[in-house]
């Protein structure tokens, strides 16, 4: 017999919402399990059950925004550090890319609960995702996320075939092996990295292990969403026809 599982955990695993959002929906009676309304926190259910959100919860999810920012160097992606501004400070009406409105007008409500879905360190530039949607955050930074992130990395130093092979597979950080990556030369001084994980300062540390120094790092793609022509320091909304 299959062990019952917490409803909020199951909802998160199925990508319906985050666990925190699930608890909020359950508490407000907006979740149905096998056609029955559930409103008690901590309820355990059959892992094979049918789960449906009330139309009110579904409508709330559709109103949530996801923002794509071309982060400049000098901004931190998460919590602000002394002397530096968080990237979310760039999300203003005057920095909204005119070509990326996606039928939306900026509203201050879009900043409420807006959080980065992944890191991009202070010395790096490129595509940073900020979202109000727990489903997207889980998709991009959940433990079992397999979404690719692509980077262009300017390097200094010499790299032989053995070092390149190690960058692709064979390195460890903090005592844990890294997942296989796809790394190759983009041009004479620039490597292209495609990763499926995001350890702290991972690419810089990988390069150090093979004798390289990173002179510049830019993220150009997350999943199927590309940075494209989005100008530095500007942002746009994720369109309804886009998915990571």
Q: Pick from 206, 205, 210, 232: which is nearest to 219 by CA? A: 232
The catalytic residues are: 121
Q: Where are the alpha helices (DSSP H) in the chain?
A: 7-13, 19-27, 55-63, 134-141, 161-168, 202-209
Separation between Cα atoms, residue 50 and residue 101, nearest integer Å: 36
Residue 41 CB contacts under 8 Å (≥ 6 apart), including other chains: 8, 23, 26, 27
Residue 207 CB contacts under 8 Å (≥ 6 apart), including other chains: 153, 155, 167, 213, 214
């Amino acid at each position: 017999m299959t062990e019952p599982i917490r409803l909020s955990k199951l909802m998160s695993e199925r990508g319906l919402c985050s666990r925190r959002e699930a608890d909020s929906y359950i508490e407000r009676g907006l979740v149905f399990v096998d056609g029955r309304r559930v409103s008690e926190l901590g309820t355990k259910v059959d892992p094979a059950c049918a789960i449906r959100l009330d139309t009110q919860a579904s409508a709330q999810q559709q109103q949530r925004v996801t923002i794509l920012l071309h982060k400049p160097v000098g901004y931190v992606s998460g919590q602000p550090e002394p002397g530096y501004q968080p990237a979310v400070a760039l999300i203003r009406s005057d920095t909204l890319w005119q070509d990326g409105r996606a039928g939306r007008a900026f509203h201050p409500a879009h900043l409420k609960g807006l959080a980065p879905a992944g890191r991009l360190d202070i010395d790096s530039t490129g595509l940073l995702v900020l979202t109000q949607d727990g489903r997207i955050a889980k998709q991009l930074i959940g433990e079992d996320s397999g979404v690719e992130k692509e980077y262009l990395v300017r390097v200094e130093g010499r790299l032989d075939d053995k070092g390149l092979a190690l960058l692709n597979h064979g390195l460890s950080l903090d005592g844990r092996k890294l997942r296989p990556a796809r790394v190759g030369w983009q041009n004479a001084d620039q490597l292209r990295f495609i990763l499926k994980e995001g350890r702290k300062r991972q690419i810089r540390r990988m390069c150090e292990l093979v004798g390289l120094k990173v002179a510049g790092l830019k993220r150009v793609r997350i999943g199927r969403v590309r940075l494209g022509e989005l100008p530095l320091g500007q942002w746009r909304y994720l369109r309804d026809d886009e998915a990571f």
